[in-house]
């Protein structure tokens, strides 16, 4: 069986998640969303989104990156996220394999 490779990034509550409120939290969240939009526009992030969980749940969301990137590139991209830099989120990067062509990602680099 032939396999495709991706990177699955789990977004978790960071150690400083409770420190941000009000306008500061709103600006940080917008910066996070803008960062994700840039990753998607460049073809790096194939899909991203939050989980439907409560505000105290440690798992917040995920991002799937193209396997054409090196793990180091993925690590660099996710650690550039303003919410990660601020400690509001932390990340776990996992290499993920699927059956070849199991997914079709619009706008993905090949």
pLDDT digits (tens, 9 = 90+) for 25-54: 999 999 999 999 999 999 899 999 999 999
pLDDT digits (tens, 9 = 90+) for 68-100: 999 999 999 999 999 999 999 999 999 999 998
Q: How confident is the model at residue 55 (pLDDT cuts 50, 70, 90)?
A: confident
Domain boundaries, the chain: 3-99
Cα dist from 68 to 18, 92, 109, whole Å:
35, 18, 8
Q: What CATH number was assigned to the domain covering residues 3-99?
A: 3.30.70.1060
Helices (H), the chain: 22-41, 71-79, 82-85
Q: What pLDDT is attached to residue 110?
A: 46
Q: What pLDDT is attached to residue 70?
A: 96
Residues 32/89, Cβ–Cβ less than 8 Å: yes
> Whole-angstrom Cα distance, residue 63 to residue 6?
10
């Amino acid at each position: 069986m032939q396999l495709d490779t991706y990177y699955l990034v789990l977004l978790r509550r960071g150690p400083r998640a409770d420190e941000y409120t009000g306008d500061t939290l709103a600006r940080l969240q917008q910066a996070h969303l803008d960062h994700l939009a840039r990753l998607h526009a460049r073809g790096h992030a194939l899909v991203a989104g939050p989980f439907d969980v409560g505000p105290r749940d440690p798992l917040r969301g995920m991002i799937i990156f193209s396997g054409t990137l090196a793990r180091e590139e993925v690590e660099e991209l996710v650690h550039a996220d303003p919410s990660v830099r601020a400690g509001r989120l932390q990340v776990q990067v996992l290499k993920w394999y699927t059956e070849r062509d199991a997914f079709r990602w619009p706008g993905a680099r090949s």
